[in-house]
Amino acid sequence: MRVVIENLVKNFGDTQALKSLSFDIRDHELFFLLGPSGCGKTTLLRSIAGFYQPDGGRLLFGDKNMAGVPPHLRNTGMVFQNYALWPHMTVSQNVAYGLEVRSVSRAAKEERVREALDIVQMTPYAERSPNQLSGGQQQRVALARALVIKPDVLLLDEPLSNLDAKLRLEMRDEIRRIHDRTQITTIYVTHDQKEALSLASRMAILRDGRIEQIGDPRSVYREPANRFVADFIGESNWLDGEVVESDSSTLTLKAASGVITASARTGFSAGQKVAIGIRPEAIRLGTAPMNNLSAEIEQVTYLGEIEQYRLKLAGGLTVKAFEQNPVEIRRPGERIDVHVRPADVLVF
C-alpha cells in the first residue's frame, strides 16, 4: 500500500506539530521516521493511524483519501513501545483480539492466529500468558497481533525501546525477516540511528515538524543535507574554515589545523566561511597524498573491535577518531599523523 502525505498540518492549541509535510511512502517499503524528541514523528504516525485528524492537507492510502476515516476502518496494524498486551489473555487470545472485533469465523481465526504466530516464531508459546514471556517474546506477540489482521500498513512506534541492547539487535533481525516475508508497507518511528541505518529502505529526518531530508540510509549518512542531519545520523567533528579555492573537482579549505581538500561541492566561493565536518571513522592513521594532519593523542579508549582516540590537532581543536581492528598500542601524549579522504569531508 502506497501512503501519500500532502501538505499535512497538525496543531495542538498554539503549537504546530506538523508543518505542511509532503512525501510518499512506497508500496512494500520499510520506511523510518527519525528525529529528536518533539520533532513530530509520533504525531505523524498517529495521524496515519487515524488517532489524530489533521488540521490541513491530505493523507491517502493508495488513491483513497483518509479524511474522516476512523482508525478501525483504515486496516492498519500498530505496535506500541509498551507492547499493550492483555495480561489476562493467553498469547493466542491476544493475537486473536483484532479478529474478534472483525467478526472473523472461528476456523479462519484459528488459521490466521497460527500463521501470525508462525511468522514471529512464537507458536510454542501460544497458551502462555504475557507475564510468562521475556520482553523480546512479548514484542513478537505484539507484532503477531498487528500482522494477524493482514494490515495494508504496519505502524511501529519505537517498538524496541524497552528492550536491552542484545535483544534489540535480535529483534532488528526479526523485523527485517518479518518484513521480507510479508512485504507489508511498514512505517517505523525511532530515535535510534543504528536501527534505521540497518533496517530502513528509506528514512525521513524530522525537526520541529518539518522534514530535513529523505533518502536511503547510505545517502543520508554519506551526503547529509545539512549540519543538523550530519549530527543526528552518526557523529561528526566540526572545524571552522574558509574557502580558499573552488573548481570543478575540488574545494580547497583553510582551517586552524591546516589546509583541507574536499571533493567538489557546488554553491561555494573563495573567502566564504564554512563548517567542515569529518566523521570519526573517516580519520585514518598515517599519511596520504593530501589532507594530512598532525595530532597529539589525548585519550585512548579500547573497545575490542575498535579503538577510540581523542586527538588534539594544530590550532588546539580536539577531535574524535576511530581505528578498526586496532593492533598497535598507542598512549596519551604520543604524536601521530592522520589523514582524511577528500570524499569524506563534509562542508556546510
Same domain flag for 215 and 290 = no
Q: Across the strands, what pairs with 345?
A: 278
Listed in sequence order, the residues at least 6 apart from 337 whose beta carbon sits closer than 8 Å to its beta carbon are 285, 286, 287, 292, 293, 294, 295
Task: Retrieve residue 100's grid coordinates.
Answer: 474478534
What element of type H or E holds 302? strand 292-302
Q: What is the pLDDT of residues 51-103, one digit of tens each?
A: 999 999 999 999 999 999 999 899 999 998 887 889 999 999 999 988 887 87
Same domain flag for 196 and 257 = no
Residue 111 pLDDT class (50, 70, 90 cuts)? very high
Of residues 318 and 314, which shows the higher confidence score?
318
Alpha helices in 105-208 (DSSP H): 106-119, 135-147, 165-182, 193-199
Same domain flag for 268 and 328 = yes
Percent of all residues in the chain with a pLDDT value above 90, rounded to a whole number: 81
Same domain flag for 41 and 145 = yes
CATH number at residue 252: 2.40.50.140
Same domain flag for 114 and 77 = yes
What's the rounded Cα separation, in Å, for the pair 6 and 25? 11
Domain boundary among 203, 231, 259: 231
Same domain flag for 260 and 247 = yes
Same domain flag for 223 and 338 = no
Same domain flag for 295 and 338 = yes
Global pTM?
0.89
Tally of domains in the chain: 2
Domain boundary among 204, 231, 258: 231
Same domain flag for 144 and 225 = yes
CATH number at residue 214: 3.40.50.300
If you ran DSSP here, which 8-state letter would residue 281 be given? G
Same domain flag for 51 and 194 = yes
- Residue 101 pLDDT: 76
Task: Retrieve residue 2's grid coordinates.
Answer: 502506497
Q: What is the pLDDT of residues 244-264, one digit of tens each?
A: 998 888 999 999 999 999 998
What's the rounded Cα separation, in Å, for the pair 170 and 158? 15
Domain boundary among 206, 231, 256: 231
Crossing angle of the two packed helices 135-147 and 165-182, in degrees rounded to 10: 20
Q: What is the pLDDT of residues 19-48, one digit of tens each?
A: 999 999 999 999 999 999 999 999 999 999
Same domain flag for 10 and 27 = yes
Range of 53's domain? 3-231
Q: What is the pLDDT of residues 184-236, one digit of tens each?
A: 999 999 988 999 999 999 999 999 999 999 999 999 999 999 999 999 999 99
Same domain flag for 96 and 60 = yes
